[in-house]
Structure formats: C-alpha cells, structure tokens
Structure 1
C-alpha cells in the first residue's frame, strides 16, 4: 500500500524549508555568496542556481501531472549522469550575476508553491501519468524542495563555520 501525504503538511514543510534557507542566506554579503570552493568549486550562488534548476525540474513534472501528459516532460537535455548534469548546470550558471540567480530561485519557488497549491491531494498522492511504475508525486516534491534546501543549507553552514574558524 502506498504511503500518502497530507497536502497541508506538505505545503507547510515546503514553506518552512524555504524560509529556513532564506534565513540562512539573509545575513550573507555578496562576497560570501560568490566566494568559490563552498563545495568543490561552487559558491553559495552556484548552490542556489543548482536548487533553481531542480525546482524547475519539479515544476515541469508537476505541470505534466496537472495536464495529464502521457509522455514524460522534457527538461534537462544534458547527457550524462546526474553529477555530470549538475556540473554542466554549474558551467552554464557560474558567471551569472548573483541578483539574477536569487531572483530566478525565488521566482521558481513561488511557481512551485503555487503549482502545489493548485493540485488536489489525490493528484499529489497519485502517480505520474507517463510512468509505468507506482512512483508517487509527493516524494519528488519533498526531494526537490525542503529536503534539497536542507542538504544545501548543511553544505553552506559547514563552509561558513570553516571560514569563521580560519578568521
């Protein structure tokens, strides 16, 4: 039997995760946000661009569910493994201005939130119309929102602590 998620609880966790991530970013300077080597060569800005791409991936899937698409929506047409795709996304975004990356992240989040709000609890607990598996929709939301924010928050916090320790 499939595990179900409450739409209200899901929305609450998505919103809480986003607020916690924004609270982490709020006191940071532009210099802190753009300093490389937070994780590998990535800066905090690059982590934000990465989160944006995966929020947009989620958004494409949710819109496909809403539309009842029988074929999986195209998203990243990048070859390779997920790590290789993430590297390509990094290369495409590393020179973008911080303000643009932040604006895209926030806009993408608002679109994801509005899309989840527009969906029924039944569709959130359902499966993808193009899938032959029993993979439910809601775990994709969890993995590309608050769990993903928490993962990158931990990376950023670890880096901030290491930088403070060197000062």
Structure 2
C-alpha cells in the first residue's frame, strides 16, 4: 500500500467521407446542398472530440455547382470531418488503465468460494480484507477528488494519511462483520463512485506526479494490479 495522496479507450474520429460528388440534378440550374447539422451536446460523453463542432450531412450529399458562392464554404468544411490522430491525455490513459485493472482484479477473484475468500494468508488478512480496505480508500478519496474538481485543496485541515497501515487496518476492521457478498458489491459500488469523481476532475490536473494523478492511480490502476498479483500468486501456491 502506498500513500493515497498523493475513457475509456480513446476512439478515433469517424471515418472521413471522402470524394463527395454532385448527384444528377432534377433541375438544370443547380444541385441542392444537403441540410447540415452542427453536432455538440451529449455527444461529448461518447467521443473525446465532441467539443469540436463538426458538420454532417442529412441524406445524400449534394455539392453546389462550382460556380456558386456556397461551394467554397461547403468544400472547406469537409476537412473538419477528416480523421485525426487523437493524442491520448494523461487522464484518459489513467482512467483506461483503471478500468482494465479493475476487470483484471475481478478475474483474479473468479471461482473463489466464501471459505477461500476468508482464509487468512496475507499477514492477518484474507482476500475479503483486501477488498474491504480498497473500498475504504475509494470512499475516503471520493471527497478529495470532488474538492480538486472544485479547484480546492484535496484534504481539509487536520486530515493526514501518513499512517497508511493504521488506515488500512481501520478499513478492514469496519467490514469484519460484513458478508463476502456484500463486500464484493461494495467494491463495485465504490469503484464506480470513485471513477465518476475522477472523471469530473479537469484533465490538466492529471499530469503524472500531480495530486489528482497520484490519488487516482494509487487507489485504482496501481492498487488493483498490486493486489491482483498477490492473489494470483497465492492461488498458484494453493492450486485453487
């Protein structure tokens, strides 16, 4: 365990619509341009470039005749639709790794029964205790991320996580009388809350070494990987 202070996978832009051509005109004078839609809004949650307005044609794309004033404008808009290489930000990379390691951690637990989940093998801890202390750190760090999202310091005055072992013991003890099933449900719930809080922090706060990056990494991607490896090694020695 380390001090806790410290996209999903990036998608490329939609394929370019290349080679738009004038269709056969019903009238001899002009090919009618298609209606255009400016995309914004909810698409931001689906695509990392959604904050950039782009044009999309409704139905067949009818270019204006070259002699018309509108032709240059429409043709100039076409590069906006061209595919770009998306530079993955530190935030996107970290949240993607967190999602991947979360899945890998669940895979490390797959097939363990309740007796195996409560067997003591990591010092005084079982797999259940490992999961419980991760839940505790999630809950403890959500408010810290919310403060960072508001531009505040992550910790209120007087709060310290210097004694990590004491916090770990506290989190495990709080779940001592909780069933294995409920601890696992709590893990999924607190992971989701933690990741939602992380996503709300501005991307510029996620440079490696900065507080937001350390809080998220050490309580998700790094933390999940650390304990998943321990569990896999333990299972290998027990052949389970």
- Aligned CA distance change for structure 1 residues 19 and 8 (closer, same or farther; 3 Å): same
The corresponding residue for 2:58 is none
Matches within 5 A, 1:122-137: 122-125=204-207, 135-137=210-212
Q: Structure 2 regions of 5+ residues with no counterpart?
A: 1-88
The DSSP-based 3-state class of the residue aligned with 1:137 is helix
Ranked by relative contact order (alpha carbons within 8 Å, sequence separation 6 or more), the top structure is 1
Deviations 1:29-88 (A, max 9, x none): 2221122x220121111100011111222212111111233472489889x822122223
State the Cα distance separating 1:156 from its structure 2 match: 1.2
More helix by share: 1
Distance 1:74 1:23 in 2: 39
Equivalent pairs counted in the alignment come to 153
Q: Compare 6-15 and 116-125 and name the one that shifted more.
A: 116-125
Contact map agreement 2:105 2:228 (CA 8 A) in 1: yes
With over 3 angstroms needed to count, the CA separation of the structure-2 counterparts of 1:143 and 1:70, relative to structure 1, is closer
Select which of 97, 105, 116 maps to 2:187: 105
Q: How high is the TM-score relative to the length of structure 1?
A: 0.78
Q: Report if the CA contact (8 A) 1:55-1:112 is conserved.
A: yes
On the 8 A contact 2:138/2:190 being kept in 1, the answer is yes
Unaligned 5+ runs, structure 1: 127-133
Instruction: Give 4+ residue runs of structure 1 displaced > 4 Å after superposition.
Output: 74-78
Contact 2:145 2:197 in 1 (8 A): yes
Greater C-alpha Rg: 2
Q: Give the TM-score of the pair, scaled to structure 2.
A: 0.56
Answering whether residue 138 of structure 2 is matched by residue 55 of structure 1, we say yes
Q: Give, in whole Å, the separation in 2 of the partners of 1:75 and 1:22.
A: 35
